[in-house]
């Protein structure tokens, strides 16, 4: 394998990591504040993909713009779901069984809605640009992947900014660290929870919409991504955006490089095997290792 | 414990069992027999899952893997008469149990939802492997050829027998040390350990027993259908259905999974007839409604109804809405929620 | 003979703490907040592993064993923040201890044994109520009952009087005395200095993770270093709460 090949693979992995990060950030944020593991994440990704498809086909919007437009819609959807269903769940510091089952039921409902509204044939978003490539020396980059990466990265950075520089972000981080203390100092945790949930769903939808430009999809397409999101979160630790970025990168690298030796069908099994390995060696995920390093320093 | 109700407790199931034993003699259409057979198989899996998910509180979304392993092991052993079917079923159960230990060793380090998602991953990974590997027939599946003739009655009685054993096992577990340990783990795993329970070992044991029964269920079905393929037996929808039944019927109870199995069986039949597209919608909707309004499932709902009736009879109109503490003792093992139904 | 619990250094929270406990003693631990009492306790109870040092019980090294294995060595604990099995009945809570404790009883004898223990702590009327309805005082009693059901030789009490009224504290201390009279050694962490001085045979004072003093209650209260570190210890003597 030549250096150019390796460079290509690394670049491909980084681009992939970008979108994996977008996908996982939504789950992380919801988990951090509400301790809810969002199994319906895959369903919302699917919804986002289809909404972007509608924008593309009916309004002839550029796929990336369509994805960005999907974001606010999904945030509203998320807020609505929170208001009607999620806020009735028992409150806890730990993930609860009812929350798990509720989100799972929601996922089933979303899938079925997807089938009812859009049918179960594969759809995809094609533009003349889909096959363009850019050459950076020996490295070949499909432009669509680059745009997706940039859009995704931009949104994740905006999220970081939001978390660190706005009142909402601060309130959110406070609730992640200590919900009781947060409530005592006056944070309206119901409202923040609703906004957070909306935000998380927004990112899920955004991820789905971005993926729609890269792959074909049908209402069931969420499941492998759900598993990947989970792997990333466990790898990267559940409570920080940077952790997610690291986890996404690791997973993307592993996936990209193992394709050389194994048929694509086994990819999921590999990702999963990686997870199991990490869990056996480091029950806290890679982030716990980093935490240890930081503490020693 | 409570002995006056003991006789009642055994009377109804005994009648039910007798009825089911006799039913085919009375005359049942082949379709009805098929329906009952399939119900029994699902009830076995439902009871099995309930041991781990209902009593011990470890929710697995990947029980299809045991269904599949059981199906394939049984299929390959029964094919061309290599082994007597009943022994093959046992082997299927044992194979699934062994797999459950291998799966449980890494995954039981996780708690709650992480464990749940991990089980999805394991199940999917194995499904993918089964689809790509040759000696199981790969994606085109596996066909069983048996020299004995197809005897629907035999399948019916086999499944019924195993289902009855599963019910009995659940009952025994719930009344003895093992069940208490599982419930303690469900309530508070660390406090259970501090009281002498070995959580990891117990989880593995419960998992193994559950996998054993699920594997047999898979085997029973495989023999009946005579043809299996990976997306069918390892499919995620199986995991969904298996967990749905105890949740709908009542987690952590003996008859909840059975009722849940019946309800889901009926839904399956009716949906296929009238609303083939609304499958997941109905299941998802049911799940949501149950979580928010009646976490105890059907059994929980019936118990509440019974309590309400009893109270109305005792005191007449103007009864208070809340349950007294000893009545609350009948509630199933969920956290106190603040759902809209309360 | 003696039940030695020799224990050396630990995490940064606890440094080079050593002591010995004789069988049948009530051995107390006090210290300001952050002194490391909880960490010390969790190391003995099996919740955490010491970085270095040993815990020896009856001549056997039990350092680092998980809590359920410690039960089989005869070491049981109560929790500072009560952790009952909330949706199980009070009786069932105690039954868990009885089933999984050292003697490992069987199906027939466990309910009786559990009821007996409930009677000894005064919770027999609550046997069939779910654990979550209990008051704080009763929750603490349940903690003790469940731990007792495992048949321990050493009982670790973690702030068992926390949140109790004066009267309840007195009752709890009396209960602890009864338990000791039955032959159980008690290691007792507490914030309430009066309670500890009233009941313990020996007290170990911790400060900033290190042993400040170890002696009888009277001596400890007179120790100037202790007085300095732990303002509020009455220098004039002690009273029976």
A window 266-285, beta carbon within 8 A of B: 266, 268-269, 271-273, 275-276, 279-280, 283
How confident is the model at residue B327, as a pLDDT? 45
pLDDT for the residue numbered A179 = 76
> B209-246 burial by CB neighbour count: b if 16+ within 10 A, else e?
bbbbbbbbbbbbbbbbeeebbbbbbbbbebbbbbbbbb
* Residue B101 distance to chain A (closest CA, Å): 14
As a three-state string, the secondary structure of chain A is: CCHHHHHHHHHHHHHHHHHHHHHHHHHHHHHHHHCCCCCCHHHHHHHHHHHHHHHHHHCCCCHHHHHHHHHHHHHHHHHHHHHHCHHHCCCCCCCCHHHHHHHHHHHHHHHHHHHHHHCCCCECCCCHHHHCEEEECCEEEEHHHHHHHHHHHHHHHHHHHHHHHCHHHHHHHHHHHCHHHHHHCCCCHHHHHHHHHHHHHHHHHHHHHHHHHHCCECCCCHHHHHHHHHHHHHHHCCCCHHHHHHHHHHHHHHHHHHCCCCCHHHHHHHHHHHHHHHHHHCCCCHHHHHHHHHHHC
List, for residues B225-279, the tens digit of each pLDDT value: 888 989 889 988 899 899 999 999 999 999 999 999 998 888 887 777 777 778 7
Of B57, B109, B340, the CB nearest to A279: B109
* Tens digits of pLDDT across chain C (241 residues): 445 565 655 556 677 778 888 888 898 888 877 777 888 888 888 888 877 778 888 878 888 889 999 999 889 999 988 999 999 999 999 999 999 998 867 778 899 999 999 999 999 999 999 999 999 899 999 999 999 999 998 999 998 888 888 888 999 999 999 999 998 999 999 887 888 888 888 888 888 777 777 888 888 777 877 777 766 555 555 554 4
Q: Which chains touch A (3 or more CB pairs under 8 A)?
A: B
Domain ranges of chain C: 1-74+152-241, 84-150
| Cα–Cα distance for residue pair A253/A12, rounded to 1 Å | 9
pLDDT band at B147 (very low <50, low <70, confident <90, very high): confident
- pLDDT for B332 equals 38
A119 to chain B, any CB pair closer than 8 A? The answer is no
Domain that holds residue B204: 29-293
Cα C226 to Cα A20, C8, C19, C166, C205, distances in angstroms: 57, 21, 17, 25, 7
ipTM at complex level: 0.86
- For A282, phi then psi, to 5°, come to -130, 90
**Looking at the domain assignment, is residue A261 inside a domain?**
no
Higher local confidence (pLDDT), A269 or B17: B17
Q: What is the pLDDT of residue A296?
A: 41
CA dihedral for C92, C95, C101, C105, sign (positive or negative): negative
C151 touches chain B (CB under 8 A): no
The pLDDT value recorded for residue A159 is 86
Minimum CA–CA partner of C66 in chain B = B193
Instruction: Output the average pLDDT for chain B.
Output: 85
Q: Which CATH number does the domain housing residue B164 bear?
A: 1.10.3470
**Structure confidence at residue C5 (pLDDT):** 61
User: Which pLDDT value is given to residue C97?
Assistant: 93
Nearest to B197 among C83, C92, C100 (CB): C100
Establish how many alpha carbons lie within 13 A of residue A226's alpha carbon, considering only the half-sphere containing its beta carbon: 26
Determine whether the interchain pair B124/A115 forms a contact, defined as Cβ–Cβ distance below 8 Å.
no
Q: What is the pLDDT of residue C44?
A: 86
Residue A269: inside a domain = no
Q: What is the pLDDT of residue C178?
A: 92
User: Quick one: pLDDT at residue B335?
Assistant: 36
Chain B meets chain C (3+ C-beta pairs below 8 A): yes
Q: Do C146 and B195 touch (CB under 8 A)?
A: yes
Mean per-residue pLDDT, B122-140: 83
Residue of B nearest to A83 (CA): B340
What global pTM score does this model have?
Answer: 0.85
pLDDT per residue as tens digits for the range A62-111? 888 888 899 999 999 999 999 999 888 887 777 778 888 899 899 989 98
Nearest-CB residue to C77 (from B194, B197, B325)? B194
Query: Phi then psi for C2, rounded to 5 degrees?
Result: -90, 145
Chains B and C form CB pairs within 8 A to the count of 91
Residue A24 maps to a domain: yes
Mean pLDDT value of segment A251-266: 80
Residues 56-95 of B with CB under 8 A from A: 57, 59, 61
- Percent of chain B exceeding pLDDT 90 equals 48
- Indicate if the pLDDT at residue B2 is higher than 70: no
Least CB–CB distance from A223: residue in B236, B291, B292: B236
Question: What backbone torsions phi and psi does residue A87 show, to the nearest 5 degrees?
Answer: -70, -10
The answer to whether C and A touch (≥3 CB pairs < 8 Å) is: no
Domain membership of residue A182 (yes or no) is yes
Cross-chain CB nearest to A112 (options B126, B279, B295): B279
Q: Does residue B217 sit within a domain? A: yes
State the pLDDT at residue C43.
84
What six digits make up the tokens of B96?
């699934």
pLDDT value at position A254? 86
pLDDT over threshold 80, residue A248: yes
Q: Is residue B189 part of a domain?
A: yes
Query: Of the ranges B123-132, B324-333, C44-53, which is most confident?
Result: B123-132
Chain B: closest CA distance from residue A83 (Å): 12
Chosen CATH of C1-74+152-241 out of 3.30.70.20, 3.30.390.50, 3.40.640.10, 3.40.50.300: 3.40.50.300
Residues whose CB falls within 8 Å of the CB of residue B75, separated by 6 or more in sequence, listed in order: B142, B144, B219, B222, B223, B228
Nearest CA in chain B to C85: B187
Helical segments of C16-165, H only: 37-45, 67-73, 90-100, 109-121, 136-149
Residue A237, pLDDT above cutoff 70: no
At residue B149, does pLDDT exceed 80?
no
In the predicted structure, residue A7 carries a pLDDT above the cut 90: no
Tell me if B110 and A109 make a contact (CB, 8 A cut-off).
Answer: no
pLDDT of residue B298: 92
Residues B216 and B92 sit within 8 Å (Cβ to Cβ): yes
Contact across the interface for B180 and C79, Cβ inside 8 Å:
no
- Residue B98 CA to residue B79 CA, distance in Å, equals 22
Q: Within a domain: residue B310?
A: no
pLDDT value at residue C51: 78
Q: What is the mean pLDDT of residues A204-233?
A: 84
Q: B314 pLDDT band (50/70/90 cuts)? A: confident
Distance from CA of B175 to the nearest CA of C (A): 9
**Residue range(s) defining the domain that contains residue A147:** 3-220
**Do A8 and A246 contact (CB within 8 A), yes or no?**
no
C-alpha count within 13 angstroms, C-beta hemisphere, residue A110: 29
**Per-residue confidence (pLDDT) for residue A283, from 0 to 100:** 59
| A217 and B111 Cβ atoms separated by less than 8 Å | no
Residue A81 lies in a domain: yes
Q: What is the pLDDT of residues B210-223, one digit of tens each?
A: 999 999 999 999 99
Lowest mean pLDDT among A63-72, B71-80, B111-120, B192-201: B111-120
Structure confidence at residue B200 (pLDDT): 95
pLDDT higher than 90, residue B109: no
Residue A77, domain member (yes or no): yes
Which chain C residues are Cβ-neighbours of B198 within 8 angstroms?
68
pLDDT at A142: 83
Give a yes or no: residue B223 inside a domain. Answer: yes
Give the per-residue pLDDT at A297.
Answer: 35
Query: Which of A112-121, A254-263, B265-274 is most confident?
Result: A112-121
Domain count, chain A: 1
Domain count, chain B: 1
């Amino acid at each position: 394998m030549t250096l150019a090949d390796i460079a290509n693979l690394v670049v491909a992995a980084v681009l992939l990591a970008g979108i994996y990060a977008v996908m996982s950030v939504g789950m992380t944020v919801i988990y951090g504040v509400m301790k809810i593991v969002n199994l319906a994440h895959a369903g919302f990704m699917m919804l986002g993909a289809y909404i972007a498809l509608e924008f593309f086909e009916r309004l002839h919007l550029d796929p990336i713009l369509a994805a960005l437009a999907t974001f606010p819609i999904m945030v509203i959807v998320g807020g609505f779901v929170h208001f009607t269903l999620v806020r009735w769940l028992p409150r806890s510091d730990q993930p609860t069984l009812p929350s798990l089952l509720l989100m799972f039921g929601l996922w089933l409902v979303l899938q079925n809605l997807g089938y009812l509204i859009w049918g179960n044939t594969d759809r995809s978003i094609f533009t003349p640009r889909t096959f363009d490539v850019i050459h950076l020396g020996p490295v070949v980059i499909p432009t669509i992947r680059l745009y997706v990466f940039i859009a995704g990265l931009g949104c994740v950075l905006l999220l970081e900014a939001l978390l660190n520089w706005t009142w909402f972000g601060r309130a959110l981080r406070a609730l992640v660290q200590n919900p009781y203390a947060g409530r005592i100092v006056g944070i309206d945790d119901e409202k923040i929870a609703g906004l957070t949930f909306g935000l998380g769903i927004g990112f899920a939808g955004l991820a789905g919409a971005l993926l729609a430009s890269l792959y074909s999809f049908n209402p069931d397409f969420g499941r492998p991504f759900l598993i990947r999101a989970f792997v990333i979160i466990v790898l990267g630790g559940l409570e920080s955006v940077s952790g997610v970025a690291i986890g996404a990168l690791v997973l993307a690298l592993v996936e990209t490089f193992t394709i050389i030796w194994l048929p694509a069908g086994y990819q999921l099994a590999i990702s999963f095997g990686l997870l199991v390995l990490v869990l056996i060696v480091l029950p806290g995920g890679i982030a716990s290792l980093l935490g240890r390093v930081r503490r020693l320093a | 414990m409570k002995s006056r109700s003991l006789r009642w407790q055994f009377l109804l199931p005994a009648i039910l069992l007798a009825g089911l034993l006799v039913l085919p003699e009375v005359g049942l259409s082949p379709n009805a027999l098929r329906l009952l057979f399939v119900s029994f198989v699902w009830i076995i899996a439902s009871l099995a899952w309930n041991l781990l998910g209902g009593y011990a509180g470890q929710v697995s979304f990947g029980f299809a893997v045991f269904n599949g392993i059981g199906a394939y092991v049984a299929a390959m052993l029964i094919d061309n008469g290599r082994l007597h079917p009943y022994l093959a079923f046992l082997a299927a159960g044992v194979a699934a149990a062994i797999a459950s230990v291998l799966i449980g060793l890494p995954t039981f380090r996780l708690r709650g939802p992480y464990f749940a998602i991990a089980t999805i991953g394991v199940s999917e990974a194995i499904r993918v492997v089964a689809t790509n590997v040759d000696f199981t027939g790969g994606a085109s599946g596996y066909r069983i050829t048996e020299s004995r003739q197809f005897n629907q009655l035999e399948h019916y009685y086999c499944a019924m027998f195993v289902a009855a054993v599963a019910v009995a096992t659940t009952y025994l577990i719930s009344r003895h040390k093992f069940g208490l340990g599982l419930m303690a783990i469900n309530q508070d795993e660390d406090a259970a350990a501090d009281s002498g329970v070995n959580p990891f070992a117990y989880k593995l044991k419960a998992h193994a027993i559950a996998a054993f029964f699920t594997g047999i269920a898979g085997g029973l079905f495989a023999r009946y259908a005579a043809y299996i393929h990976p997306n069918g037996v390892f499919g995620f929808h199986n995991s969904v259905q298996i967990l749905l039944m105890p949740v709908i019927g009542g987690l952590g109870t003996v008859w909840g999974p059975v009722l849940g199995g019946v309800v889901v069986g009926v839904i399956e039949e009716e949906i296929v007839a009238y609303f083939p597209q609304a499958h997941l919608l109905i299941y998802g909707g049911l799940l949501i409604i149950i979580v928010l309004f009646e976490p105890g499932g059907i059994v929980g709902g019936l118990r509440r109804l019974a309590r309400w009736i009893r109270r109305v009879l005792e005191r007449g109109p103007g009864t208070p809405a809340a349950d007294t503490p000893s009545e609350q003792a009948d509630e199933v093992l969920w956290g106190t929620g603040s759902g809209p139904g309360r | 003979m003696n039940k030695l619990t020799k224990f050396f250094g630990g995490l940064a929270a606890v440094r080079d703490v050593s002591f010995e406990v004789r069988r049948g003693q009530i051995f107390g631990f006090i210290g300001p907040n952050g002194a490391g009492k909880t960490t010390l306790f969790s190391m003995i109870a099996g919740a955490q592993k010491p970085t270095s040092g040993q815990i020896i019980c009856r001549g056997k090294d039990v350092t680092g064993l998980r809590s359920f294995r410690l039960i089989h060595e005869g070491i049981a604990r109560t929790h500072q923040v009560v952790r009952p099995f909330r949706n199980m009945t009070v009786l069932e809570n105690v039954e868990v201890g009885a089933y999984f404790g050292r003697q490992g009883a069987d199906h027939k004898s466990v309910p009786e044994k559990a009821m007996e223990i409930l009677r000894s702590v005064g919770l027999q009327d609550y046997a069939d109520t779910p654990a979550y309805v209990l008051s704080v005082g009763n929750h603490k009693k349940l903690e003790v009952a469940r731990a007792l059901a495992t048949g321990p030789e050493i009982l670790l009490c973690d702030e068992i009087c926390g949140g109790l009224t004066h009267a309840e504290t007195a009752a709890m201390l009396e209960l602890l005395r009864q338990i000791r009279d039955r032959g159980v050694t008690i290691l007792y962490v507490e914030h309430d200095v009066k309670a500890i001085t009233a009941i313990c045979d020996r007290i170990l004072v911790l400060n900033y993770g290190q042993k400040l003093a170890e002696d009888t209650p009277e001596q400890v209260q007179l120790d100037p270093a202790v007085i300095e570190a732990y303002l509020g210890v009455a220098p004039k003597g002690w009273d029976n709460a």
